[in-house]
């Protein structure tokens, strides 16, 4: 059974995350929106706190949990749930800043999903970005063209990666590359490439519509040599330890993206209600919806959509914590919450008119920030395709 009331230990975490969002993120939100690519130094003090809260390690523990068989009737609200409720609060403060917290990169989740025990210990404390997307391989991650060739005791990597979140700030980049293009997705492996390694170069930082506090890099690898042991997992061509690892990573991080969407949408709804109340417009929840004003009815409708996205997010995180395969539910949560966040933030701008459109308020920024949540880690269209495959029992080759 899923209990919708947060237990006491998670309430403490939520309160701490909310205080960070309110007292750290909100005051500097506009500053780093306008100073794109400038590193938010205020976040350094959060790194130790995040380690203490075990948010980064929590996500990783959740990935490990999916590899285990569910035993008994014990219900766990563990690492994935903690990460999701925490990031909901962080993104109530600022999405871009939440993405910029050191050691919270997607690459860290990939390391735990695929690495062996020795590698996990060796890369402990490393801030790792994830490099999957390429100019010719966007939503279709299986179409990766970056190559990895074994030369003695070193791997030689060649290729180009784009849209790497925290790509210039992280200590290392987890690069997904193929050992043999002819063998398709089964030959795709992940490699930890520390920044400073000869051959890896950040060639561009993208200017973006939103999440400007977070850097988004393009990276090239030219005869980049790394130690043989920096391949995560085994070099055997096996889907379970190769491409399957990145898919399992997504099954755990997509609910986190849903949580981010829930957070920014809640921020927009709360601020819109506050602005409208100053104009004498207050939402009355009792009585028929047909007796409400158009603005009241619209806010109530958006709140219902927001709640649906929130519940799907909680279910996907709960399943991950309890060792229940959640690929379909993870995609459902991201598809619903991200779409709802886009709709809510834009509609709130409209409802608030000039105040919503002006930079005097954060509503217009939240509308810009929310769009990425419907794009990265799998677009809306890709999520719906994954859901359809799961519901119909089709393989990717059978339903494209």
Give the list of residues 6+ apart from residue 197 with CB closer than 8 angstroms, or none. 224, 225, 226
According to DSSP, the residues that pair with 155 across neighbouring strands are 150, 226
Distance, CA of 362 to CA of 134 (rounded, Å): 33
Residue position matching structure tokens 């089964």: 186
Residue position matching structure tokens 């994830």: 130
Q: Output the six-digit token pair for 276.
A: 């409208």
Check residue 144 and give left, alpha or beta (phi > 0: left; psi -120 to 50: alpha).
beta
Distance, CA of 59 to CA of 65 (rounded, Å): 10
Strand, helix or coil for residue 107:
helix
Distance, CA of 315 to CA of 322 (rounded, Å): 11
Helices (H), the chain: 8-20, 26-34, 44-53, 55-66, 79-93, 95-98, 106-114, 117-122, 243-278, 294-321, 327-351, 353-357, 363-370, 380-392
Per the CB < 8 A criterion, the answer to whether 245 and 205 are in contact is no
Give the list of residues 6+ apart from residue 187 with CB closer than 8 angstroms, or none. 178, 179, 180, 181, 237, 242
Per the CB < 8 A criterion, the answer to whether 168 and 202 are in contact is yes
Distance, CA of 342 to CA of 171 (rounded, Å): 32
Could you tell me the CA-to-CA distances from 247 to 164, 239, 311, 390 in Å, in that order? 17, 10, 23, 14
The catalytic site residues sit at 377
Strand, helix or coil for residue 231:
strand
CB atoms within 10 A of CB 305: 17
Q: Output the six-digit token pair for 347.
A: 């509609």
Pairing of strands 128-131, 172-178: parallel
């Amino acid at each position: 059974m899923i209990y919708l009331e947060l237990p006491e230990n998670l309430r403490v975490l939520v309160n701490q995350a909310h205080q960070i969002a309110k007292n750290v993120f909100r005051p500097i939100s506009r500053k780093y929106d306008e100073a794109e690519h400038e590193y938010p130094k205020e976040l350094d003090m959060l790194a130790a706190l995040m380690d203490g809260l075990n948010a980064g390690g929590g996500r990783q523990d959740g990935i490990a949990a999916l590899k285990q068989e569910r035993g008994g009737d014990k219900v766990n609200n563990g690492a994935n749930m903690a990460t999701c409720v925490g990031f909901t609060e962080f993104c109530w403060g600022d999405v871009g800043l939440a993405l910029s917290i050191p050691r919270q990169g997607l690459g860290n989740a990939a390391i735990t999903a695929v690495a062996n025990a020795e590698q996990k210990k060796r890369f402990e404390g490393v801030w790792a970005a994830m490099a999957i997307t390429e100019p010719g391989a966007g939503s279709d991650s299986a179409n990766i063209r970056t190559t990895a060739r074994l030369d003695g005791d070193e791997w030689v990597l060649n290729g180009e990666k784009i849209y790497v979140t925290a790509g210039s700030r992280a200590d290392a980049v987890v690069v997904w590359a193929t050992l043999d293009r002819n063998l398709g997705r089964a030959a795709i492996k992940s490699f930890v490439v520390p920044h400073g390694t000869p051959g890896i170069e950040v060639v561009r930082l993208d200017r973006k519509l939103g999440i400007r506090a977070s850097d988004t890099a393009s990276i090239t690898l030219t005869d980049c040599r790394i130690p043989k042991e920096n391949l995560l997992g085994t070099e055997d061509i096996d889907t379970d330890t190769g491409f399957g690892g990145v898919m399992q990573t997504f099954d755990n991080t997509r609910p986190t993206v849903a949580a981010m969407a829930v957070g920014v949408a809640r921020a927009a709804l709360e601020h819109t209600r506050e602005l409208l109340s100053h104009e004498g417009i207050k939402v009355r929840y009792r009585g028929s919806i047909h007796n409400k004003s158009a603005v009241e009815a619209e806010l109530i409708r958006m709140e219902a959509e927001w709640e649906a996205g929130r519940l799907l997010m909680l279910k996907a995180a709960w399943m991950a914590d309890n060792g229940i395969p959640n690929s379909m539910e993870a995609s459902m949560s991201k598809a619903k919450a991200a779409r709802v966040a886009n709709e809510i933030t834009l509609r709130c701008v409209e409802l608030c008119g000039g105040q919503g459109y002006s930079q005097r308020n954060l509503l217009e920024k939240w509308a810009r920030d929310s769009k990425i949540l419907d794009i990265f880690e799998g677009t809306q269209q890709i999520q719906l395709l994954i859901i359809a495959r799961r519901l119909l029992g089709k393989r990717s080759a059978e339903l494209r």
